[in-house]
Amino acid sequence: MKINVFNTEDEVLNGLANYFVETAASSIAAHGQFSVALSGGNSPKKLYELLASPLYRDKVEWNKVHFFFGDERYVPNTDPQSNYLMAKKALLEPLELSYKQIFPVDTSLSPEEAAKKYTTDINYYFAGVDVRFDLVLLGLGDNSHTASLFPHTPVLHDKTASVKEVFLEDQQVFRITMTAPLINQAHHIAYLVYGEGKAIAVHHVIEDKKDIENYPAQLISPKDGDLQWFVDHSAAALLKSK
């Protein structure tokens, strides 16, 4: 695991954008395409906008990139809460990609069916080869969740490399999420975390005692790949080893 600490949010975003370019180039050189699972929430929006900007858009062979979602809110894909809608506006539409390159979660189905169908879609995409994303992008909630692996939810104990529905009691909403085993099969996993509000969670996940019920992001440990953190000084403020 490598922790990349940057002085500012802007430097974190450029650091991860450069890493995205590098892993895309190496994946395409190795097997002709780049499969990436995007994260949602607020943090990655600026990353996606940066990748679609003149600074980076010509640095990736976008026609060889296939976009998945590490998790999705159980809302219509036109809802402001939708991770797909956020990525579509910030990255996918500006790059003028073919719809064939984009694999959204079908939230028109029931939560359970949406999860099952996404599992099927992913397995079909990787048919004949290992189900291993080239890159999984992750964020970190201030309660130490990642993707939609939330504290004290049954999905934390799921041993299958798949996609599952999660009901969040406190918010009374469903989410659809890749399980930790599926994420951990990736070649590369990168966290994007910035801001002082994340410092306690970053400390819990990286340095605190093993406690996946309370710090689910501790589940993320690639089986045969590399894990990198891209954080700013504020988010890394409580780390002893940085």
Which residues make Cβ contacts (< 8 Å) with residue 80, sequence separation at least 6? none
Pairing of strands 65-69, 188-193: unpaired
Nearer Cβ to ligand 6PG, position 25 or 173? 173
Of 181, 216, 188, residue with least CA distance to 1: 188
Nearer Cβ to ligand 6PG, position 72 or 134? 72
3-state DSSP helix/strand/coil % of the chain, to nearest 5:
35, 20, 40
Q: What minimum distance in Å lies between the beta carbon of 173 and ligand 6PG?
A: 11
Q: What minimum distance in Å lies between the beta carbon of 31 and ligand 6PG?
A: 26
Other residues' Cβ atoms within 10 Å of the Cβ of residue 106: 15
Q: What minimum distance in Å lies between the beta carbon of 29 and ligand 6PG?
A: 29
Q: What minimum distance in Å lies between the beta carbon of 204 and ligand 6PG?
A: 14
Sheet bearing 163-168, strands edge to edge: 71-73, 173-178, 163-168
**Spatial distance between the Cα atoms of 134 and 209, rounded to a whole number of angstroms:** 29
The residues binding ligand 6PG (CB under 6 A) are 39-43, 71, 73, 83, 139-141, 145-147
Nearer Cβ to ligand 6PG, position 94 or 195? 195
**Spatial distance between the Cα atoms of 78 and 74, rounded to a whole number of angstroms:** 11
Q: What minimum distance in Å lies between the beta carbon of 217 and ligand 6PG?
A: 9
Nearer Cβ to ligand 6PG, position 45 or 64? 45
Placement of tokens 């894909």 in the chain: 77
Nearer Cβ to ligand 6PG, position 30 or 146? 146
